[in-house]
Structure 1
């Protein structure tokens, strides 16, 4: 993520929680600066057993992004 993206990501970042392959995951997106659609800037590699667990971890990552402009160790 560039410095420009980091400075704008926290305000426009959106958390998505979804079920895939028998488990729950999260992803964080921002609007693309050119064109249309969204850019994935972070996602979970961990498969969570419940939606609430994925949402909790994704919220933690989103808070960290908002506070620091970076996604620390993304699962």
Structure 2
């Protein structure tokens, strides 16, 4: 994968925030390179009290993911 493709992969990351078992969680996915669907590349171990708190933490993690790591996770 060339360096010029990394920003494209990074921009394809998607943050999901959802309620499960009485608390809020987040997950970050990337489209699979082969086949269909998405691959979970990161998720919260913490259960958050509210959606806003979970989204804030997920956004923080999403913003800190280096493009080089994202390229490796897509496979």
Equivalence for 2:16: 16
Aligned residues: 64
Extract unaligned runs of 5+ from structure 2: 71-75
Extract unaligned runs of 5+ from structure 1: none
Equivalence for 2:40: 40
Give the number of the structure whose alpha-carbon radius of gyration is greater.
2
User: TM-score, normalised on structure 1?
Assistant: 0.77
Q: Is 2:37 aligned against 1:56? A: no
Task: Summarize deviations over 1:17-63 as a string: whole Å, max 9, x none.
Answer: 00000000000000000000000000000000000000000000111
Moved over 6 A (4+): none
User: TM-score, normalised on structure 2?
Assistant: 0.77
Deviation of 1:9 after TM superposition, in Å, equals 3.8
